Amino acid sequence: ETGVTQTPRHLVMGMTNKKSLKCEQHLGHNAMYWYKQSAKKPLELMFVYNFKEQTENNSVPSRFSPECPNSSHLFLHLHTLQPEDSALYLCASSQDLAVGGIYGYTFGSGTRLTVV
Amino acid sequence: DQQVKQNSPSLSVQEGRISILNCDYTNSMFDYFLWYKKYPAEGPTFLISISSIKDKNEDGRFTVFLNKSAKHLSLHIVPSQPGDSAVYFCAPRGSSNTGKLIFGQGTTLQVKP
């Protein structure tokens, strides 16, 4: 158990579907992140939240919509995705932004998303 | 334009020998450099980091070396163990305010018994 739990582990969705990815941490961390890992590509930062406030949107298309209702939970709402959005989506958390950049984040195991 | 490059996609070493994983970067403003390790079906786990004001940091079997003039860092694992077989990512901190990490493509290490 890594301390960061992501559900579901696997998701197959059609291009017209709406689905949500969930991330939960009980580590008392205040910063949470969404990363995307496509095949043969490095992990790419998507969004950063610090104390529930979004601090970074890395030019992510609007078909990805994050939500952070509290410091323990982070969602990624998906709608009208494309097949090229198929990837591993990783959630992570850190004590705060500065600590995350020095001592690393705690990552979840990820959601493997396939868009058909 | 990739700011972080791990040019060796894979590396194979014998158990007990040294593993050396390399990482090159282009941005001289990076102030911290992190290494992550990832097993299949799991998220990456933090391994070790180094500040840009240092040239070496050691933690048990793991040592990271930083050569700022060459914009190069390396991770040494001595002695290598079969359980070290994983994908290793180099991840400099992009900005001190955002906590943003910029990941390399990763190097798959296989340690043979």
Q: Does the distance separating the beta carbons of B93 and A102 come in below 8 Å?
A: yes
Question: Are β-strands B107-112 and B10-14 bridged in parallel, bridged antiparallel, or unpaired?
Answer: parallel
pLDDT of residue A79: 94
Residue of B98, B102, B105, B107 for testing the chain A interface, max A β-carbons within 10 Å: B98
Q: What angle do CA A58, A61, A64 make, to 5 degrees?
A: 95
pLDDT (tens place) for every residue of chain B, 113 residues total:
679 999 999 999 999 999 999 999 999 889 899 999 999 888 999 999 999 999 999 999 999 999 999 999 999 999 999 999 999 999 998 776 667 889 999 999 999 99
Q: Are B84 and B93 in contact (CB under 8 A)?
A: no
pLDDT of residue A100: 77
- B82 or A42, higher pLDDT: B82
Write out the DSSP string of A74-86: EEEEEES--GGG-
SS3 content of chain B, % helix, strand, coil (to 5): 5, 50, 45
Nearest to B98 by CA among B6, B2, B29, B5: B29
Residue in chain B nearest A58 by alpha carbon: B100
Q: A41 by DSSP, 3-state: which?
A: coil
Residue B100, amino acid: K
pLDDT of residue B96: 67
From the list B4, B36, B41, the residue facing A104 with the nearest CB is: B36
From the list A48, A90, A96, the residue facing B43 with the nearest CB is: A90
